[in-house]
Each structure stands twice: as structure tokens, then as C-alpha cells.
Structure 1
Amino acid sequence: MTDRIRHPHFRSKLMPADQAAAQIMPGMTVGMSGFTGAGYPKEVPAALASRMEQAHARGSDFKLRLLTGASTAPELDGELAKAGGIDFRLPYQSDPELRARINQGKIEYMDIHLGQVAQYAWFGFLGKIDMAVIEVSAVLDDGRLIPSTSVGNNKTWLDLADKVIVEVNAEQPDGLDGMHDIYYGTALPPHRKPIPLVKPGDRIGEPYLRLDPSKIMGVVETRAPDRLGRFAPTDETSRRIAGHLVEFFRHEIRQGRLGEHLLPLQSGVGNIANAVLLGLRDGGFEGLTAFTEVIQDGMLDLIRTNTILAASATALSLSPEGIQQFVGNLEHYRRRIVLRPQEISNHAELIRRLGCIAINGMVEADIYGNINSTHVAGTSIINGIGGSGDFARSGFLSCFVTPSTAKDGAISCITPMVSHTDHTEHDVSIIVTEQGLADLRGLSPKQRARLIIDNCAHPSYRPLLQDYFLRACHQSGGKHTPHVLSEALAWHQRYLTRGRMVV
């Protein structure tokens, strides 16, 4: 791997993963790379988990405070959680082992907007960062680092950590060189200046990460792909949701509120988001742009066909087939994709300036437009808020999508009151299910309730929601946001006790 590690000081620090992991001590705060299953370290976490298990077998405690960009993979989050080695974790996560231990109360978890993590670290809110473990694709002659398939919070961890372990992954494509844009112009208040980005494809930084050589405690060679799932075929429900949104965009163009090239798109992770993107292509849209967090297979396909001409993100979260397509057309994608730190990809100032159209999934919405993105029955975390709040609050349009029911109809995703609120009614423009679309702009709470029930609720739940709303209006005497508080969360309670929201 000499061609991947070109700086002599880095080569002098080469060591096996277990030797590198031996430098991570109990109680440390460790920042690791990784964003939505891309660009996470592949070898050191497993070696670290083995050390933790050995320590626990001796009766010693060995836990870390773990900070990342977003979710990682079983080789990182899963292994460390299984070993009982995580005391505290932020921000977004999606690993089943980690999630189970969070909901069992064995791991403290802080859910936080992804755009806030770096500044929280710089403000000192997260304490001292002892160690960073960062995957890169190569080290240049002058010691600068070619980032991997994600940037995430890597710049912040490298800058703030006392010590650094670098994993150089030869499996990552050589062609990543030049695709990144690392901006070093941010500053702490009150000395901040406007970030000079006015179009999604603008380059305002440099292609490489900087690292003080004195911090390097070890360099580990790896050769392993990102472990990401395959892109699921679009089902009928997703196609119907996509169809409603595409027709809505056409309506907005006819009304003069959107141009034919729309505005920069932000698309959350998941099959529905991918279906919406493919619906835009099939609907004849072209000349689009994206300012988002993650490029998945659906967006990659739009870039391949020139439906999207420029896309800014912080990670490439691609299926094995998507990776093959990416590697096979690298020069095409290099001209159109820019990968940035998530403090830029999720920056509220830039989202507001560019006027992003945000499309994100949800767990449930209530009849007044409040959104639960993160919890089951108000108590059990699923994954986290991710970047949806960054875009919902600051975007031009804030769209939330979901099937109208879940668990084979046992759950209505439109409820009298959400069991947990991530996005208030004030930050939600559009709600879409396969049943239809509710445009909530310019409406009062009672007007929103009628529209959401009529357009988005499943027919089997619609009469019950209408009955609840009418009785709430009557009992409240016309209050601004009518509720029957004794019943507002009764649907969730029935699901917990009987297995269905309505029996």
C-alpha cells in the first residue's frame, strides 16, 4: 500500500489494528468517522471490542464516550455495543445491537441535529476529545489526507482530538481524490463570517483533510468495503407517495412558486426517498440540483442520467450495485458530486440561502401537523432525528412522507397526537402518504386537521379521526388547537396493550 501511504512519517507509524486499539483507554471520548454506513473504520473497532471483552472478563470496566458523524455499521456500532463498551453515544444511529442497549438503559444516547454536532464540539459542550479514529482512502506526500466515502465530522475530530489513529482503506476507489471540498473557514462566535457558497456545486475549500503529524498514534492498513444494504425495489405504496409529490411540484411550477428546475433537493435515507427521486426522473424533470446529506442509489441514478447536474452531500451511501456503477463512471460523477463536512452540508444558513426542498421520512404525524421521526410510542428510540430538522426548519419546503399505516394496518401513521415531537407544526409544509398530500402552508390548526384527515389518513382510520376532531372541537369550546386530552394518546396505549391502535 505504499502508493496509498506516501508520507514517510505515516509509514513509520504503521501497525496492526490491535496495537493501535491498545492506545484507546477506558473512559476516553473518541470521535470516529462514519456517516450512514459509509467511511467508518473497519479494523480498529473490532480490535477495541476484543480488548473490552477481555477487560470485562477480568472484572474491569472498559467503556467509551463515542462520537461519530451519523450511523456507522455492525463492525463499529454493533461490535462495541455487543462488547458492552459504549457509555455514551451521539448523534444518529441505526444498529440493532446499539439501539437495543439504548432502549434497555445500558447506553446513554444524545439525539441531536447533525448540523449542530461540530459546533457543539467546538463550543466545548461535548468535553475534551481524547482520540480520533478516522478512515481515509490515502495519504499524500505532504501528509494531507484524501477522505473516504464520507466526510461527516472528520475535520472536527482531527482538529480537536489530542491523538489520532488513521485507517487507510485500499478498497475505497482511487478516484475519490478531488471529489471532496473541506472548508476551513468556520470560526467561533462572535467572529463568524458568511460561508461563501451560493450554488450546490460551488467549491469553497480544499480537497483534503489536514492533520498535525504530532497527533498520529498509529496508521492501520485495511482493505474492506463499506457494508451497506441493497436498494430495495420500489413498492406500490412508495410509487404512490412519489406520484403525489411529483404532481405537487408540477402544480407549484404552474403557480409560479417553483421554476422548471425546482430548487436544490434534500432527500432523506430510505426507499420512499429513493422512489421520489426516481419519480422525478420518470416525470420528465431535468437540470435539477441537490444539496443534501447522503447520495443513495436513487440520486446516483439521476446524476448518471443528467437529471441532476450537481449534487452536494457529506456521504456516498451506496449499495454494492451502486458502488459498481459509481466506480464504473467515476469521471462522470467526479464532475457532478461534491462531498463536504456535515457542518456545511447541514448548515442552516446555507439551507435557507439555497432554498432547499426537504423530503424526509417520519414515524407518524398528528392531525395538526406535528411530526414524530424518532420514537415508538414516545419512549423507544428508533434511529434519531438525523439531519431532517436542519432542513425542515430552514428549507424552502419541508415535506414529510410515510405510508398511512404500519404493521399490516395495526398502526395508523396519522394520529390524534404524536407520542413524541421532533418537528413541530411550525416547521412542516407538506405531509404525504399513499392516500394523498396535505399542503399545510397558510392554514390554522383546525384547517390543517381537516386536510390531513381527509387527504392522508387511511380509510379505515379516517372516520375515527374525524370523530375525535369533531368531539375535541365541541368539548374545547372552539379552542385554537382542540384536543380531548384523556383520549389524545389512547391509540398508542391500545397498541401497547392490545397490539392494535383500534380494536
Structure 2
Amino acid sequence: MAEILDRIERLDLSAHVRPGDTVIWGQACAEPLTLTERLIEQRAAIGGFRCFLGAPASGTIRPEHADHVSFLSYCGSGGNRALYRAGVLDILPCHYSALPDLIESGALPVDVALVQLPPADAAGRHSLGLADEYLSAAIDRARVVIAEVNDQVPWTHGTRTLTTADLDVIVYTSRPPAEIVRSEPGDAEQRVAGHVAGLIEDGATLQLGLGALPEAIVARLAGHRDLGVHSGLIGDAVADLMEAGVITGARKTLDRGRTVTGALMGTSRLFRYAHRNPAIELRDTRHTHDPEVLAAQERFVAINSAIEVDLTGQINAEVVRGVYAGAVGGAIDFLRAAARSRGGLPIVALTSTALLSTGEAASRIVANLSGPVSTPRADAGIIVTEYGVADLRGRSLDERRARMLAIAHPDHRPALEKECHQ
């Protein structure tokens, strides 16, 4: 029987979290803020334990908290970057799709799961609210499941619900979930978005990443018809196109009529739209990233980004100037599936340059990667910058170099060509 608390002040996490435990919670907007804040407040009383972090949307975790806590993550985005720079974040370099199986097998141990849920429906069922993804595996594996039932979290459709019988502790709260506010795309992002949008046919099913560029690409699709979505995450722009009747899922091969995603990563605009909306379905990573499910979607378009791409198509999506800032993520799963899909497009989109702290614009099309090969060149498909589209499929190394040079920033092409010849 779940222990039910009406006030967070009554929750003593040292009674549930043991020294040496690994604690996990929903990432980004799905973070149960009240519980994670309480966990950090009580870290000294608990003793040494570990937290597995996803991509953060809050500032709950900071480097100074490493006095009693160790941190592990699959990514270096957002606030995780500060942890990495401070030397207190360890990285698990795995494909995102592997996380549920790693948790289920115990290779990635999970002892305590913190979840954020909406109030139960009339049948006593809580939906998973803002994320399912690898959280389902964590809930099943954890020794203790502690829930923050927040009346400002949307009740979303999916294949998984929880009842009080699945929970060990319940705390009732009312506060806005963490948000990821969309940033305004610049001119270069808009030009990249225009090129990508021109490649996408009506009736295609899309997979999208997070950030200004994916949101700009989605916004450029307003004139399309009957698009579908099967993605690890969705943001506000997807809700905009669903409401406008552009994203209908009417031509999807699987999950027809439904936008399938692992997590909602946006603002209250997205949360309100998703509330009790059967057109949006949250699913486990084992469905959103399943290679057979993805490849079975006709006209599956995978749209991913990168930190840098070399002239042969090798992609670094993890490290920026020695700092772990990205992730292996799900790119290979999606790109390979799009390559197998009938009419599919494996796309990696990025601006040709990145502005450094010195004010210098560094080329993101490079002769040699400065970080690891996150996606090998054998899996490279279509690379897009603001200067055009380089379709590398079926192209030799010399042909690839010529095409990649053509989409590099003009200011950097002479140096790249010189390095190429050397």
C-alpha cells in the first residue's frame, strides 16, 4: 500500500534511498521538481548515492551537489555541461535505444525511481504525463517508486498507466512543470530549414530532434499535407501543425492517425494540447526507437543534427572542444531506419559555422573530426547546411568531399580544400 503524503515537508527520503543507490527520474519536462529538490536538500542525510540524469530542463542539479552525490548521464546537454566541466559528471556513451535494456538487465542499476504523474482518472489510473521512454523500464526495475502527483501535469494517452498499487510513496503537489522554451532561429537556421522542407513529401512520417533548428524545420512544413510523426520527442511546433491540420498521421503505415513520441519537451502550450488528446501517444523507447517499427514506416524522414561533419560524412554529435556537450543519442537508429524505409530520407541538418566565445565563426564542416565518430560515414545519408544539400548516398570518398565542400561556408572552403589535398 502506497504511503500518501499531503505535504512534501513530511517526506524523508533517507527512509527510502540507501547509500550506494542509483536514483533515476524522468528527463527534461518530466522531472518531478518537488522530489528532485527534496532529494538534493536531503543528500547529506542520505549519504553517498548516484543519480542518473537525462537531458535537464531545470537548474536543480549543480556541481556543488557532488559533495554527497555522483552523477551519470548519457548526454552533456543543458546543465549537464556545467557538471562535466566541473569534473563531476560521468558519461555513459551508449545508443539511446539501449537504455531500457541496460536498465532491465541490471547493467545500469536502478534502485529508486522518481516519477511525475497527473491525477488519476475515474478508473484510478495515472498516465505517465510528460514522458515514457526509458522511464517504464526504470519503474519496473526499481526497488522503490516515489510519485509526485501534480495537478498541472497533462493526462496523456499511451500504453502504460500506473495505479497506487504500483507506487510506494505518493506526494501531492501543484506547480508548473519544467519547460523548454523554443528559441528563435536565426537566418542560417531558417535557410537550412528551407532546404530540408523542400526534401519532404506530403504524407511523410517525421522524426525530429530538439532545438531551434528542428522547430524551424517543422514551422516550414505548414504548407504540407497529411504528415505523420514518430519521434523520440516532440516540441511546441508539432502541436502547432497538428492543430493546423498539417500533421494528421493519416498516411502513416503504423500507428495511423497518431503522433507517437517518447516525451513532450516544450512549454505549457504543448502540455495543454496533449492533455487527454488521443492523437498524441506516449510510448516506451523500445517502440519509438525500434528499428523494425521505424523501417516499416513508408517515407520515414529522420532529421538529426550534429556538432560537426567531416568531408567524408563522419559525424561527431558528442564533443565540442573537449567538452561533452551532446550524446550518441538515437541518430543511428533513426538514420539507418530511414535508409531502409521505402521513400525514406536520412537527414543530418546543421548550420555551416558555430560562433565561438572569441567571436570567431568556426566551420562545422571539417577535414578531421575534433571528437568521436558518433555516426560512421557508412550511415551518412543527406547532409544539409544553409548552403545546400549534399546527398552522400552511393557516393565515393572523392565525390563526398566535393559535395561536402559545396555546402561548407564559403570563407572556409579554401582551407578545407587545402587540408583535403594534404
Find the partner of 1:306 among 230, 242, 245: 245
Q: What residue is the counterpart of 1:21 in the other structure? A: 13
Give CA deviations for 1:299-347 in whole Å, capped at 9, x if unaligned.
11111111111311011112244445x27xx56xx14211112222122
Task: Verify: 1:386 aligned to 2:338, yes or no.
Answer: no
Long gaps (5+) in structure 1: 1-8, 56-60, 183-207, 250-258, 472-503
Per-residue deviation, 1:10: 4.0
Q: Give the deviation of 1:240 after TM superposition.
A: 0.7
5 Å-filtered alignment, 1:52-67, equals 52=43, 54=44, 62-67=47-52
Matched, 1:72 2:56: yes
1:485 — aligned with what? none
CA distance in 1, matches of 2:107, 2:410: 47
Residue from 73, 77, 80 that aligns with 1:94: 77
Partner SS, residue 293 of structure 1: strand
Number of the residue aligned with 1:369 = 313
* Residue of structure 2 aligned with 1:404, choices 352, 369, 380: 352
**How big is the shift at 1:152?**
2.4
Deviation larger for 116-125 or 101-110: 101-110
Partner of residue 466, structure 1 = 417
Structure 1 residue matching 2:172: 3-state secondary structure: strand
**In 2, Cα distance between the equivalents of 1:242 and 1:272?**
7
Which among 159, 171, 182 is matched to residue 181 of structure 1? 159
In 2, are the aligned partners of 1:33 and 1:41 still within 8 Å (CA)?
yes
Q: Conserved in 1, the CA contact under 8 Å of 2:71 and 2:88?
A: no
Secondary structure of residue in 2 paired with 1:394: helix
% identical aligned pairs:
25
Instruction: Give the deviation of 1:350 after TM superposition.
Output: 1.4
Letter in 2 for 1:448: R
Q: CA deviation at 1:117?
A: 0.2
1:168 is the counterpart of 2:186? no
Instruction: Provide, for residues 74-112 of structure 1, a one-character-per-residue CA deviation record: whole Å limited to 9, x for no partner.
Output: 354x2586354432413235332x322323332322132
- Aligned partners of 1:446 and 1:62: how far apart in 2? 57
Residues of 1 paired with 2:313 and 2:328: CA distance? 17
The match for 1:426 is 378
Residue among 277, 294, 310 paired with 1:351: 294
Q: Taking structure 1 as the reference length, what is the TM-score of the superposition?
A: 0.74
Determine if contact 2:114/2:145 at 8 Å carries over to the other structure: yes
* Residue in structure 2 matching 1:134, options 84, 100, 115: 115
Q: Which amino acid aligns with 1:31?
A: I
Task: Look at both structures and tell me which one has the larger radius of gyration over its CA atoms.
Answer: 1
In structure 2, distance between residues paired with 1:103 and 1:18: 35
Residue 112 of structure 1 is matched in structure 2 by 94
Give the AA of the match of 2:207. Q
Match of residue 32 from structure 1: 25
Q: Residue type of the partner of 2:33?
A: K
Letter of the aligned partner of 2:153 in structure 1?
Answer: Q
Stretches of structure 2 lacking an aligned partner (at least 5 in a row): 250-258, 340-344
Distance change >3 Å, CA 445–CA 466, structure 1 → 2? same
Q: Is this contact kept in 1: 2:218–2:238, CA < 8 A?
A: yes
Q: 1:437: how far off? A: 1.0
Q: Rate the CA distance shift 1:140–1:383 in 2: closer, same or farther, 3 A.
A: same
Amino acid paired to 2:389: L
2:342 corresponding residue in structure 1: none
Q: Cα RMSD between the aligned structures?
A: 2.4
SS at match of 1:358: strand
Choose from 365, 369, 385 the match for 1:414.
Answer: 365
The structure whose residues are more often strand, as a share, is 2
CA distance in 2, matches of 1:152, 1:80: 26
TM-score by length of 2: 0.88
- State the alpha-carbon separation in 2 of the partners of residues 17 and 153 from structure 1: 29
Q: Distance in 1 between matches of 2:143 and 2:164?
A: 11
Which residue number in structure 1 is paired with residue 282 of structure 2?
A: 339
393, 404, 408: which is aligned to 1:452? Answer: 404
Q: Are residues 1:49 and 2:40 paired?
A: yes
Distance 1:46 1:470, change over 3 A: same
Q: Is the 8 A contact 2:304 2:348 kept in 1?
A: yes
Q: Deviations over 1:38-89 (max 9, x none)?
A: 221111211121122x45xxxxx93322235x3133354x258635443241
The 3-state SS of whatever aligns with 2:118 is strand
- Contact 1:18/1:44 (<8 A) preserved: no
**Is the CA contact (8 Å cut-off) linking 2:149 and 2:173 kept in structure 1?**
yes
Task: Indicate how the Cα distance of structure 1 residues 113 and 322 shifts in structure 2: closer, same or farther if over 3 A, else same.
Answer: same
